[in-house]
A and B are shown apart, each in its own frame.
Chain A
Amino acid sequence: MNGLWNSFSALASDPNLRWIALGCMLLGLSSGMIGCFAYLRRQSLMGDTIAHTALPGICVAFLLSGTKSLPLFMLGAVAAGIVGTLAIRIITARSRIKPDAAMGIVLSSFFGVGIVLLTMIQHSGDGSQSGLDKFLFGQAASMIGSDVQLMAGVSVVLAAACTLLFKEFKLLSFDPAFAKGAGFPVSVLDFILQALFVTAVVAGIQAVGVVLVAALLITPAVSARFWTERLGRMLALSGLFGMVSGLLGAWISSQVSQLPTGPVSVLAAAALFLVSVVFGTKRGLLTARLTRREARRRLLLHAAEAASSASASSSTSAKEAG
């Protein structure tokens, strides 16, 4: 126990570790909040698609600049992510292909291009290319101070935007036709939300990687839904789950050598999800079972009362009921 505490205080005192933990927590907070809207708009798989489409953007940014710079990579990733989302939108609007198929096509073809470019870069013999493949699975522990600050800053902006536009995003998610009828510029709002979503995905790629980053967006949101029937509380809880996941990821990976921070964060989020599925106060399995049992008990009580009142008039029927 003492060792645990020491390791935890090391997390708070070691400046590098502290930054990484703080960055992961803020990333979890903002991803969790934005993820709620994506989940409620049935765009859960969008995060995965955007993350995969971002890879060629990172590679192109490297090929064009020839340097390894996180802000440039993020720009490339955001650009590719937006191109990917637009591609999905155009495919679904102009053809009869459904969104799930469109996402599948865009995800795999963009990711294919990304892997081809990545392989080319790795075989080009350029010394500075090493580390680009880290974007596949992420490497939060190796992030330098300025990278973490960038990620944290972006996360704070995202969380603030979600808070500021809460009312608008809520209406957009629940009833876009009504929102438009009430005079809200629905396509602008939709674009803003998508852009925030792309930014959240890209902010997480460095830490968690292309393959797993979607988990940070969706898992906390789905978990939070088990505990509440209010959107505001759902956002707060989802953000909290995301923060706890980030903290656990940073902490556990700092204790066990060779454990990657991002994937451990994702596992922590998955563990919170399991707890929510079982114990969630609104929709958890345990709650559902208890509610059912209570309903059955009342039904039996009711039947027993009916039987006993019937026995007042006929004693033989009471024996059968008993």
Chain B
Amino acid sequence: MSSSERNEIGLEASPSEQGQGAGARPARRQEGAPPVLEVSGLSSAYRSQAVLREVSFEAPQGELIAIVGPNGAGKSTLIKTILGLNPSLGGSVRAFGRPVAEVRGRIGYVPQRESVDWDFPTHALDVVMMGRYGRLGWFRRPGRKEKAIAMECLRGVGMEAFAERQISQLSGGQQQRIFLARALAQEADLYFMDEPFAGVDAATEKAIVELLRRLRSEGKTVIVVHHDLATVPDYFDSVLLLNVSLQAFGPTAETFTQENLQRTYGGRMAFAAAAASPSAAESGSAAAAPLRAAEPASASAKGAEA
């Protein structure tokens, strides 16, 4: 692998747009270029319950995009259905203008940390090397070259000192970084990340944000399921508000509005408040709950959502 190729995956590039809110920079939209991801009319169900209803959007290239919505809104289901990990009930997905199955080599995926057994007999470097398996093809074992790439990716998330560490002996934030490094090793152009910020400490969160910005500066597109409303304007260029059906999608500055958030979270929260305390609902304090959710800058929005 040449050094220019390595630069392409962004490991040696310096974070260029650090500290700049997405609202301050204009969204890069290239007219005419095929969208990186084209989702139309995507639906999914669990038993008889609709989990996704007719979701359509087009993701532009080179942006950090947040998927935001209340619990059970189908955020994880959306990216799993796009990736074909979940059966869809209808609709179509095209990435780089082609069906997803044909371009898997250009798509990276970071599952939720809880989705695997961290007691598995393996070490950090080995997990990162799994990011290379798709490119190796059948039967071939990873060799020196794959090891070097994986090590580079570990360095990219600041975990090179833990390469030989058994994965159960890593902290939650470190495990998350390992998963990100594994996705880096995939050398993809489009990334899906399922709650990478869940349960990590401030230092790891900062490292992840730097990594996301580095990927963006390389022209990669990253779609992130995100929970913390307070940080959305800071971290993301575009936001997709989801509650079973698509509520709003567009540049964060225009889309992340009180009105849209109220629509996404509102009904559910009023219902939750009424169910939890009927007397409060009668006295009218339940009406205050949706308003809290509609203040994305306040830290209480995160708690109210739960």
- Residue positions of A touching B, CB distance < 8 A: 40, 42, 164-168, 170-171, 173-175, 177-184, 225, 228-231, 234
CB-CB contacts below 8 Å: B95-130 with A: 101, 104-105, 107, 109, 111, 115-117, 120-123, 126-127, 130
B145 in contact (CB, < 8 A):
no
The answer to whether A181 and B83 touch (CB under 8 A), given A166-B141, A171-B130, A175-B130, is yes
Dominant secondary structure of chain B at its interface with chain A: mixed
Q: Is A183 touching B105 in the complex (CB atoms < 8 A)? A: yes
Partner of B111, one of A165, A167, A178, A184: A178
Kindly state the separation between the CA atoms of A231 and B116 in the bound complex, as whole angstroms. Answer: 15
Q: Is A228 touching B111 in the complex (CB atoms < 8 A)? A: no
Residues of chain A contacted by B142 (CB below 8 angstroms) = 167
Kindly state the separation between the CA atoms of A231 and B121 in the bound complex, as whole angstroms. Answer: 5
Closest-CB distance, B105 to chain A (whole angstroms)? 7
| Least CB separation from A229: chain B residue | B166
Beyond the given A229-B122, A230-B123, could you list 20 further A-B residue pairs with CB under 8 A, ordered by the A residue number?
A40-B117, A40-B120, A167-B133, A167-B136, A167-B140, A170-B130, A174-B117, A174-B130, A178-B109, A178-B130, A178-B182, A179-B133, A181-B109, A182-B131, A182-B186, A183-B101, A183-B104, A183-B105, A230-B126, A231-B122
Residues of chain A contacted by B104 (CB below 8 angstroms) = 181-183
B84 in contact (CB, < 8 A):
yes
Kindly state the separation between the CA atoms of A165 and B138 in the bound complex, as whole angstroms. Answer: 8
Residues of chain A contacted by B140 (CB below 8 angstroms) = 167
Closest-CB distance, A217 to chain B (whole angstroms)? 17
B85 in contact (CB, < 8 A):
yes
Q: Is B116 touching A183 in the complex (CB atoms < 8 A)? A: no
Residues of chain B contacted by A184 (CB below 8 angstroms) = 133-134
Closest-CB distance, B132 to chain A (whole angstroms)? 9
B46 in contact (CB, < 8 A):
no
Q: Is A180 touching B84 in the complex (CB atoms < 8 A)? A: yes
Q: Is B115 touching A40 in the complex (CB atoms < 8 A)? A: no
| Least CB separation from A173: chain B residue | B120
Kindly state the separation between the CA atoms of A177 and B140 in the bound complex, as whole angstroms. Answer: 21
Dominant secondary structure of chain A at its interface with chain B: helix
Q: Is B80 touching A167 in the complex (CB atoms < 8 A)? A: no
Closest-CB distance, A180 to chain B (whole angstroms)? 5
Partner of A171, one of B107, B109, B133, B192: B133
Partner of A177, one of B85, B136, B166: B85
Q: What is the size, in residues, of chain B's interface with A at 8 Å between Cβ atoms?
A: 33
Residues of chain A contacted by B141 (CB below 8 angstroms) = 166-167
Q: Is A183 touching B134 in the complex (CB atoms < 8 A)? A: yes
Residues of chain B contacted by A167 (CB below 8 angstroms) = 133, 136, 139-142
Closest-CB distance, B135 to chain A (whole angstroms)? 9
Kindly state the separation between the CA atoms of A173 and B140 in the bound complex, as whole angstroms. Answer: 18
Residues of chain B contacted by A230 (CB below 8 angstroms) = 121-123, 126
| Least CB separation from B107: chain A residue | A181
Question: 8 nearest interchain CB pairs?
Answer: A182-B134, A183-B104, A181-B109, A229-B166, A175-B116, A231-B121, A183-B134, A174-B120
Partner of A165, one of B80, B101, B126, B139: B139
Closest-CB distance, A181 to chain B (whole angstroms)? 4
**16 pairs from A and B in contact (CB 8 Å cutoff):** A40-B117, A164-B139, A167-B139, A174-B117, A174-B127, A175-B130, A177-B85, A179-B133, A180-B84, A182-B134, A182-B186, A184-B133, A229-B121, A229-B123, A230-B121, A230-B126
| Least CB separation from B80: chain A residue | A177
Kindly state the separation between the CA atoms of A170 and B123 in the bound complex, as whole angstroms. Answer: 13
The answer to whether A174 and B122 touch (CB under 8 A), given A167-B136, A182-B134, A183-B105, is yes
Kindly state the separation between the CA atoms of A182 and B127 in the bound complex, as whole angstroms. Answer: 14
Most buried by B among A167, A171, A178: A178
Kindly state the separation between the CA atoms of A120 and B278 in the bound complex, as whole angstroms. Answer: 66
Q: Is B84 touching A40 in the complex (CB atoms < 8 A)? A: no
Kindly state the separation between the CA atoms of A215 and B141 in the bound complex, as whole angstroms. Answer: 30
Kindly state the separation between the CA atoms of A285 and B179 in the bound complex, as whole angstroms. Answer: 31
| Least CB separation from B102: chain A residue | A183
| Least CB separation from B86: chain A residue | A177
Closest-CB distance, B14 to chain A (whole angstroms)? 29
| Least CB separation from B103: chain A residue | A183
Closest-CB distance, B283 to chain A (whole angstroms)? 39
Closest-CB distance, B85 to chain A (whole angstroms)? 5
Q: Is A234 touching B121 in the complex (CB atoms < 8 A)? A: yes
Closest-CB distance, B120 to chain A (whole angstroms)? 5
Q: Is B133 touching A225 in the complex (CB atoms < 8 A)? A: no
| Least CB separation from B105: chain A residue | A183
Kindly state the separation between the CA atoms of A40 and B123 in the bound complex, as whole angstroms. Answer: 15
| Least CB separation from B112: chain A residue | A177
Partner of A228, one of B84, B101, B120, B121: B121
Closest-CB distance, B191 to chain A (whole angstroms)? 11
Kindly state the separation between the CA atoms of A177 and B104 in the bound complex, as whole angstroms. Answer: 13
Residues of chain B contacted by A175 (CB below 8 angstroms) = 111, 115-116, 130
Closest-CB distance, B51 to chain A (whole angstroms)? 17
